[in-house]
Amino acid sequence: MVVLVTGANGQLGQALQSISGNYPEIDFVFCDSTRLDITDLNNIKQSFKQFKPDYCINAAAYTAVDKAESEPEKAQLINVIGAKNLAEVCKEYDTILLHISTDFVFDGTNKTAYKEEDTPNPTGVYGLTKLQGEKAIQETFDNYFIIRTSWVYSQFANNFMKTMLRLASERDSLSVVNDQIGTPTNAVDLAEVLISIIIKTQNSQPETRNIFGIYNFSNEGRCSWYDFAKEIFEINNVNINLSAIPTTSFPTPAKRPAYSVLDKTKIKKFFQVEIKDWKESLKACKI
């Protein structure tokens, strides 16, 4: 079984690389942006012709939430055209696509966890392009899994946890918003779930493979960014004066959803995945 991973040097790409040795039955082909540019259709075709992947995990994306507000064309090119290109080539090569999307497709006005079928209404360019990317895939073919996730962190690449630890090494005090509620996701847990989806799909009979579609995945529980930062500092024995502030005191170019907890009933039911609580998973994340 051949699994091709795009965006292999990003956070999720590196998390996938870190666990790939646990799956000797899978031939992984890790492609970073220099080897495979998802905005270049011919480049994708060449890679698929060479490796003939059974599955493609699209870990490539434009992920700079605030910067996207000032460069929407670039976000659109990578998150929409890139996703569409991959879906077209996957269709041509009969490859199953696993594409990652985001809680930022929602506007955050829900009072209970977002289900897959809830109506998206992104509040910024990043969320909008990720939603358009989902739609471009859905309009191209049926053999996709779109996994929406939230607040991804890990020992790899740039993320909130690493930013907090860096800032704490430079300052005595820090303010973090406490009125945006969501769930952190350890990138390694997300990587494990993606492989689990592939293995379960591979082992199921072709006629029962009507399980394609959108799925939510994050760790269990919920918290604010302030709670998340507090836990990061406690686990890492960092002494810092941390204060909670409202979003209005920390204006950013992109408006973020006030509430973006994802309901994971569907993924647990279809793929029997056991999901760790976010605090437990954070403890397991070693820098």
Ligand X SMILES: NC(=O)c1ccc[n+]([C@@H]2O[C@H](COP(=O)([O-])OP(=O)(O)OC[C@H]3O[C@@H](n4cnc5c(N)ncnc54)[C@H](OP(=O)(O)O)[C@@H]3O)[C@@H](O)[C@H]2O)c1
Q: Distance between CA 212 and CA 204 in Å, rounded? A: 12
Examine residue 11 and tell whether it contacts ligand X (CB under 6 A): yes
Nearest to 140 by CA among 58, 69, 204, 196: 58
Query: How many whole angstroms from its chain centre is CA 204?
Result: 25
Q: Based on CB atoms, which residue is closest to ligand X, 7 or 122?
A: 7
Query: How many whole angstroms from its chain centre is CA 271?
Result: 18
**Stretch of residues binding ligand X (CB under 6 A), selected from 113-121, 146-154, 170-178, 260-268:** 146-154
Q: Give the residue ranges of DSSP H helices in the chain.
A: 11-19, 41-51, 72-76, 82-93, 125-140, 160-170, 187-203, 225-235, 265-271, 278-283
Examine residue 122 and tell whether it contacts ligand X (CB under 6 A): no
Q: Distance between CA 155 and CA 157 in Å, rounded? A: 7
Examine residue 281 and tell whether it contacts ligand X (CB under 6 A): no
Examine residue 157 and tell whether it contacts ligand X (CB under 6 A): yes
The residue annotated as part of the active site, out of 55, 126, 144, 215, is 126
Q: Are 97 and 82 in contact (CB under 8 A)?
A: no
Q: Distance between CA 27 and CA 201 in Å, rounded? A: 16
Examine residue 189 and tell whether it contacts ligand X (CB under 6 A): no
**Stretch of residues binding ligand X (CB under 6 A), selected from 31-39, 166-174, 192-200, 250-258:** 31-39
The position carrying tokens 């289900």 is 115
Examine residue 123 and tell whether it contacts ligand X (CB under 6 A): no
Give residue 227's identity as a one-letter amino acid code. Answer: D
Q: Based on CB atoms, which residue is closest to ligand X, 6 or 123?
A: 6
Q: Are 139 and 83 in contact (CB under 8 A)?
A: no
Among 149, 178, 201, 216, binds ligand X (CB under 6 A): 149
Q: Distance between CA 209 and CA 13 in Å, rounded? A: 26
- Which residues, 101 to 120, sit near ligand X by CB under 6 A? 102
144-149: strand order across its sheet: 27-30, 2-6, 55-58, 96-102, 144-149, 213-216
Examine residue 6 and tell whether it contacts ligand X (CB under 6 A): yes
Q: Is the dihedral of CA 262, 265, 268, 270 positive or negative?
A: negative
Q: Based on CB atoms, which residue is closest to ligand X, 6 or 219?
A: 6
Examine residue 178 and tell whether it contacts ligand X (CB under 6 A): no
Q: Based on CB atoms, which residue is closest to ligand X, 166 or 208?
A: 166
Examine residue 231 and tell whether it contacts ligand X (CB under 6 A): no
Q: Based on CB atoms, which residue is closest to ligand X, 44 or 174?
A: 44
Helix or strand run (H / E) with residue 278: helix 278-283
Among 28, 106, 114, 151, binds ligand X (CB under 6 A): 151
Concerning whether 126 is annotated as a catalytic residue, the answer is yes
Size, binding site for ligand X by CB under 6 A: 27
In the complex, what is the shortest distance from the CB of residue 107 to ligand X, in angstroms, rounded to a whole number? Answer: 15
Binding site for ligand X (CB under 6 A): 6-7, 9-13, 33, 36-39, 59-61, 63, 78, 82, 100, 102, 130, 149-152, 157, 159
| Active site positions, annotated | 126
